[in-house]
Amino acid sequence: MFFVATPEPATAKVTLDPAFTVGPVRRRTFGAFVEHLGRCVYTGIFEPDHPDADEDGFRRDVLGLTRELGVSTVRYPGGNFVSGYRWEDGVGPKDQRPVRLDLAWHSTDPNLVGVDEFAAWSAKAGVEPMMAVNLGTRGIQEAMDLLEYCNIDGGTELSDQRRANGAPDGYGIRMWCLGNEMDGPWQIGHKNALEYGRLAADTARGMRMIDPDLELVACGSSGPTMDTFGEWERVVLSETYELVDLISAHQYFEDFGDLQEHLAAGHKMDAFIKNIVSHIDHVKSVKKSTKQVNISFDEWNVWHMSRAESKAPSGKDWPVAPVLLEDTYTVADAVVVGDLLVTLLKNTDRVHSASLAQLVNVIAPIMTEPGGRAWKQTTFHPFALTSRHAAGTVLQLAVESPLVSGGTTENVAALSAVATFDAEKGEAVVFAVNRSATDALTLDAAVAGLGNVRVLEALTYANKDPYWQASADDSTSVEPAENVTVKADGGRLTAELPAVSWSMIRLAVGS
């Protein structure tokens, strides 16, 4: 009888040293997105008849899960929805608010949730609101009116209207998106780059006359595959560079049946970010500017948009809160989401804000039943743990990794990793993804530069079936579990990383 030896896992080598840094861990990296789309708002965050609803109609279970997820900012109210939105419809007595057609998602919006409700929900959830203005069907005056309503404490018509609606103090919203995906032909009022750039510049000037300290986000192209990408950024920033702080990036990833290709999502996001940076810095150079514009990656996620879940209603069917974009995520999708967070952290010098799209029900880490349960999708876990434990400074790692290839993407590093170092807390955290669809990987990290280290916690999220999905009936049988292979000894950290896995290793650091 002959026995075939199982090959040893390939090894990826990493060096961590606190002397080499990328930039600070930014809390705004862990933002999310609430759009009036499908069941994100109605039966998502807001369901007055739910047995666990609070006095304002918000689901307490969803509030609790939002806090556990560790969300920092929430972008609102869209998304495609914002390009046809009249914000005045969503304020004042609810029985007097108009019911409107939502052309973006072929639905009906009863306007029971608007800016005041969103501000109240944000306060309860402990998140920073991030507001978008309609530059599709509306423009400069409406944006300035909304800003006045939200942020001026009192003494003007619109601020006093807010006070009469039950909010005596201004909301102090700092981050404002100047429209959404305005190069997309699906967008109501979409524009060419010069039209949008000039409108965004004029809107920014008007808003800064009210509050010069706002943080404004210009619309970047809707995605890297758009014909407009690159030239759009150049033209828009040529008009707005000195008036805005950030330019948006949107990118989604889908599993088309090649798991190895799907696991390369973080590699593709990294390339996209570097491409955007080159366009930003080109305009900066041409303008001879001393200002640095950075990136708000305010839509990102796995979204299986070619599936039936993303088919909007049509014809005479204009439902309120239809089941729409309710993707059910796999373990592999969660590993991809964890890798995308690794990528955002690795680019923290230029990505200053990010928003997972979206928060509840719609391509979301949190799911609900109308009148019933709420539960965590697989993607909840890497997001919550990264948000909870990434702190201090992002370290610049030296990585030597085997390569993997799949589909049209070749020679991608099997190991995707980032580390954060919190000197005050005396803790370093390594986030590591094995992108191989088939093979385990040995992590061999040189950590002597940190001083003496010991392992505080080591968790890995993986499953023999990478296509396992959570449900309302079973959301807990596959969760991050202790990785007993992790060892720290003699200035080296070692770990075995299963195929298709995301891991978090927390280290106590001492002299």
The pLDDT tens digits for 4-23 are 445 678 999 999 999 999 99
- Which tokens hold the place of 447? 């950590």
The pLDDT tens digits for 394-453 are 999 999 999 999 888 999 999 999 999 999 999 999 999 999 999 999 999 999 999 999
Asked: is 10-18+394-510 a CATH 2.40.50.140 domain? The reply is: no
The pLDDT tens digits for 199-237 are 999 999 999 999 999 999 999 999 999 999 999 999 999
Are 250 and 324 spatial neighbours (Cβ–Cβ below 8 Å)? Answer: no
Are 486 and 455 spatial neighbours (Cβ–Cβ below 8 Å)? Answer: yes
Fold of 27-389: TIM Barrel (3.20.20)
371: left (phi over 0), alpha (psi -120 to 50) or beta: left
The pLDDT tens digits for 302-360 are 999 888 888 889 999 999 999 999 999 999 999 999 999 999 999 999 999 999 999 99
Distances (CA, A) of 67 to 247, 291, 361: 27, 35, 16
Q: Per-residue pLDDT for 2 more than 80?
A: no
Domains 10-18+394-510 and 27-389 share a fold: no
Rounded distance, CA 326 to CA 305, Å?
10
Q: What is the pLDDT of residue 9?
A: 86
Rounded distance, CA 322 to CA 426, Å?
48
The pLDDT tens digits for 268-306 are 999 999 999 999 999 999 999 999 999 999 999 999 988
The pLDDT tens digits for 438-471 are 999 999 999 999 999 999 999 999 999 999 999 9
Query: Catalytic residue numbers?
Result: 181, 299
Domain boundaries, the chain: 10-18+394-510, 27-389
Q: What is the pLDDT of residue 7?
A: 63
Confidence class of residue 113 from pLDDT cuts 50, 70 and 90? very high
Average pLDDT, the chain: 96
Q: What is the pLDDT of residue 310?
A: 85
The pLDDT tens digits for 39-87 are 999 999 999 999 999 999 999 999 999 999 999 999 999 999 999 999 9
Q: What is the pLDDT of residue 511?
A: 65
